[in-house]
Amino acid sequence: MFVATGNEYEPSSVQWSQLCRHFEFHEILTTTKNFDESLVIGRGGFGKVYKGNIKNGSTLVSAAIKRLDSMSNQGASEFWAEVEMLSKLRHCHLVSLIGYCNHETEMILVYEYMPRGTLADHLHKLGTPLSWCQRLKICIGAARGLDYLHTGTGIEFGVIHRDVKSSNILLDESWAAKVSDFGLSIISPRNQTSTYVNTLVKGTFGYIDPNYFATGKLTRKSDVYAFGVVLLEVLCRKRAVDKSLDCGIATWAQDSIKAGRLKGIVDYDIRREISTKCLKQFAKIAERCLDNYPKNRPTMAEVVVSLEYVLTLQEKTYNLSQTASKTIFGRMVDKFSFSDSGQNSGIFQSPHYVCAGSVLSWS
């Protein structure tokens, strides 16, 4: 798929999308102010990411500009893999590639800018108060993006992401999730779920499918396993490999669930929000994703449907509690309201009532 030309690798037969353009190096230098450190918004295995405004056609757009670090373990193959993947794939839950720049030893990717950063940062660094429904919607968005990669790309083959993790789930202004970082992605037959690709094991420790690690056989179900780890991160607000645990979050959570301590693993911030039925259903999805046998794991399409059901359950519970609160308040109104010679009834209008907190007493 790639051919060597001197020290560079270039695609041999890639039909580039019109939406993905080649930027001149001077454009990148202007946008990043010669790679000014004050514009750095992130760092990863590929290198530093800069924020800048860049011209895309006649429009000036905010962009995230990822520059390959010369010391990075990644290189030309990952760079061109990402360009090729994102030139073909367009979905509302995938980060869009605006363009790329390859100049001498420089390899640079230009993406749409995601103002809210990564899911990992909000969970583990910023301590952002994310409600349970917000978290569910983020999970559903990411799951839809992965489902599109696996089966809905509209091309002959599907795509295995191979590096699904919370730091590769970005969030836009509306908190919509977008899957990013396709440097390790691999094309696979779309219509054969059991088909595997023999490949060197790559990915991030804590998210790697144990079956893939043991056999070198990569399938779409390896992405499903990694997504199961993300689901636990969202539920427990612990990292995939957390210093507070003696093992990975997957083993810790599964052991806790088997021991009947499901409620104890839930992030304290959402314990009062999440309904018991909703929690059990969500945990069941995560457990299925983490099954030791890939064939027993759900497809991402099934995960999407299951998560949407959990969200419906949660919203229904919330609506019922709201209705119950209104009913209780209505009964209080009926009990304590009065009519004054045919005048409109009022609430607590008499000077003889004193309201102390939630307790009503006579003065």
Active site residues: 163
Of 301, 295, 164, 304, the closest CA to residue 217 belongs to 295
What number of residues does the chain have? Answer: 363
d(CA 300, CA 153): 14
Token pair of 353 as six digits: 């009532």
Token pair of 64 as six digits: 């995230």
What is the number of other CB atoms lying within 10 angstroms of the CB of residue 128?
16
d(CA 356, CA 363): 11
Q: How far is CA 152 from CA 84, 249, 265, in A?
A: 17, 30, 34
8-state DSSP, 338:
B
Q: Answer positive or negative: Cα dihedral of 249, 202, 127, 133.
A: negative
Token pair of 98 as six digits: 């605006």
Question: How deeply is 142 buried, as exposed, middle or buried, from its count of CB atoms within 10 A (0-12, 13-18, 19+)?
Answer: buried
Quick check: 176 and 92 in contact, CB under 8 A?
A: yes
Quick check: 143 and 300 in contact, CB under 8 A?
A: yes
Beta strands 359-362 and 353-356 are antiparallel
d(CA 269, CA 166): 19
